[in-house]
Structure 1
């Protein structure tokens, strides 16, 4: 099983990935962990280092779940996945999930530091359907529509946390 989950921030990617990882004993890669400099907020690592980290993970694990919003990385990993899952519950659900998300210690030094970034995150999430960058709905839709293998798009919050 090699499941690749992508969508907007707050769509339920981490929740679903953690569930699948635990239920099936899969290695789990949150793409945030390879995109951003450790211990620094919103400082991206060099792209060659990001791609090298992704390649290392793919080689090191025979079964996995990968999750993230980074279109270019989703596209790179999709060549090796057995299932592609696009979580698309809508803007309001994503905004609500972000407001109630627990502290993510792998991203922020404290819950307070995470909360200090919330408004920036919410503004970015709110623009998901209007932006045309690699992390936008348009990029995600293109990747999903072009994928020829097993795939599903999940639109309701219940679907986002319940594997099909």
Structure 2
């Protein structure tokens, strides 16, 4: 299993950042969160122009070793050719929504929108939805790992 350059995809609230942080620490490689590339400002209010975001992602993916994670299929598809491993966190939508509720401290319009978006992962027809992530996963020729729950995710960190 070659985890030299690992790309992690999945729904919001699936545990991508949790896994990426631990995997990057274990492998002693940089960790890049695609949220920091996609968004110009916090809290997720102004998106960076697509061309700038893609340029930044390509620069990160040109490094020799990394863990990159995010929900953005349109970015992942542009850097997938550099990955040696693809991990798809295919966690149930209800679990993702519950995870978001646990981690978020403010109850505002942004949270409501995020919960609705995460809850529609399997029905959304965009580059960040289930069908698009499945196509990325099925078309990848390196090491592929599909995880469906917290226990499997923790086991991967423990055994890598």
TM-score, L = length of structure 2: 0.90
Aligned to 2:121: 128
Q: CA deviation at 1:155?
A: 0.7
* Residue 143 (structure 2) aligned to one of 150, 153, 158: 150
* Residue 7 (structure 1) aligned to one of 7, 10, 13: 10
CA contact (8 A) 2:10 2:88 kept: yes
Cα RMSD, aligned residues only: 1.4
1:125-148 CA distances to partner (integer Å, 9 max, x unpaired)? 111111110110010011111112
CA contact (8 A) 1:4 1:84 kept: yes
Q: Which structure 2 residue ranges, 5 or more long, are not aligned? A: none
CA contact (8 A) 2:41 2:47 kept: no
Aligned to 2:72: 70
Q: CA deviation at 1:150?
A: 1.0
Superposition misfits of 4+ residues, deviation over 2 angstroms: 38-42
* Residue 96 (structure 1) aligned to one of 81, 98, 113: 98
Corresponding residue pairs, total: 153
TM-score, L = length of structure 1: 0.88
CA contact (8 A) 2:24 2:67 kept: yes
Q: CA deviation at 1:161?
A: 3.1
Q: Which structure 1 residue ranges, 5 or more long, are not aligned? A: 103-110
Aligned to 2:53: 50
CA contact (8 A) 1:12 1:161 kept: no
User: In structure 2, how many angstroms separate the alpha carbons of the residues matched to 1:91 and 1:57?
Assistant: 29
CA contact (8 A) 1:93 1:157 kept: no
